[in-house]
Amino acid sequence: MNLKLRIWRQAGPAAAGRLVEYAADHVSPDMSFLEMLDVVNEGLTKKGEEAIAFDSDCREGICGTCSLVINGVPHGPDRGTTACQLHMRRFKDGDSVTIEPWRAAAFPVVKDLIVDRSAFDRIIAAGGYVSVNCGGAPDGNAIPIPKDVADLAMDSAACIGCGACVAACKNASAHLFMSAKISQFALLPQGHPERHRRVTAMIAQADGEGFGSCSNEGECQAVCPKEIPISNIARMTREYVKAALLAK
C-alpha cells in the first residue's frame, strides 16, 4: 500500500520546525510503524537527503523510547500499544498520516521526532531509594505480602516512562508517570520508610521541571501503552496529603 506522510522536521532545539510531506510507497501491511520509517529513511539516504531522526531501542514495547504522536494520538490508534508495536495493517492504502514529537515544554525537541525526556530521570532521582541501614539484603520472600497488593504494585511498576501521558494531557501533566512510580513503592512494606519524603520530593521536582497539573480527564490512561490506571493518581494524592500533614 502507499501512504502520504506529514512528518515534523526540526534541525535542533532552537530551530523552527515544520511539517514536511513524504511518500511511503509499497508499504507491507506486516511492517511495524518504525520499519516503515526505516524504509522511508533508506529512500531519503539514497537520494542524498537527510534521514528523519526518531528514537527507538528495543522495538518490543519495553523501553518506551519510540515516542511518536501519530495522527494526533501518542503511540497511534491502538490501545495498549507502543509505536514500535503498531503495524501498518492498521492503516489503509492512500491514507494520510501525520507524525509529530511529544508536545510539552518539559520535553524539548532535540531533532525532528526526538525529544529530551531527561526530566523523567530527574524525577526518579528525586524519589531516591530506601536508605535505611538494615544489614544484609533479606530474602525476597521474608515479608509476606498479600497477592492483591503485590499485583497492584506490579501493575504500577509496569510503567515504561515513555511520556505518552504527558503528550496526551492538555496541561502536559506527569501525574500518571509519577503516581505509578510512587505507588509501586508506597504499596509495598519495603517502600514505607521513605514514603513521605519520596512523594514530596518527586512532586516538587516535577513542578520544577515545568509539568502541569492533572486535568482529571483521563487522556493519560487512554494512551498509556501499559494501561496504567488513573487510580494511581488518587493514591499519590493521598500519599502527598499524609506527608504534608505529618510535616506540620
Q: d(Cα 75, Cα 143) in Å, to the nearest integer?
A: 38
Q: d(Cα 157, Cα 182) in Å, to the nearest integer?
A: 9
Same domain, 43 and 150: no
pLDDT at residue 140, rounded to an integer: 64
Specify the number of domains making up the chain.
2
Same domain, 125 and 206: yes
pLDDT at residue 136, rounded to an integer: 74
Among 59, 75, 110, which residue terminates a domain?
Answer: 110
Per-residue pLDDT band for 134 (boundaries 50, 70, 90) equals low
Cell matching residue 247: 510535616
Cβ count within 10 A of residue 116: 13
Give just the sign of the alpha carbon dihedral 42, 99, 97, 85: positive
Residues 6 or more apart from 78 whose CB is under 8 A from it? Answer: 85, 86, 90
* Percent of the chain's residues with pLDDT above 70: 96
Same domain, 122 and 208: yes
Same domain, 33 and 137: no
Res. 119: pLDDT tops 70:
yes
Range of the domain at 30: 3-110
Question: Which CATH number belongs to the domain containing residue 66 in this structure?
Answer: 3.10.20.30
Give the model confidence (pLDDT) of 208-229 as tens digits: 999 999 999 999 999 999 999 9
Global confidence as pTM: 0.91
- How does strand 96-100 pair with strand 109-111? unpaired
Segment 130-142 mean pLDDT:
67
Res. 174: pLDDT tops 70:
yes
Same domain, 99 and 57: yes
Same domain, 174 and 85: no
Same domain, 123 and 96: no
8 Å CB contact between 7 and 113: yes
Same domain, 145 and 91: no
Same domain, 188 and 105: no
Per-residue pLDDT band for 130 (boundaries 50, 70, 90) equals low
Per-residue pLDDT band for 128 (boundaries 50, 70, 90) equals confident
pLDDT at residue 247, rounded to an integer: 80
Residue 104: left (phi > 0), alpha (psi -120 to 50), or beta?
Answer: beta
> E strands along 101-156, which residues?
109-111, 114-115
Give the model confidence (pLDDT) of 66-91 as tens digits: 999 999 999 999 999 999 999 999 99
pLDDT at residue 193, rounded to an integer: 85
Cβ count within 10 A of residue 152: 19
Among 110, 134, 164, which residue terminates a domain?
Answer: 110
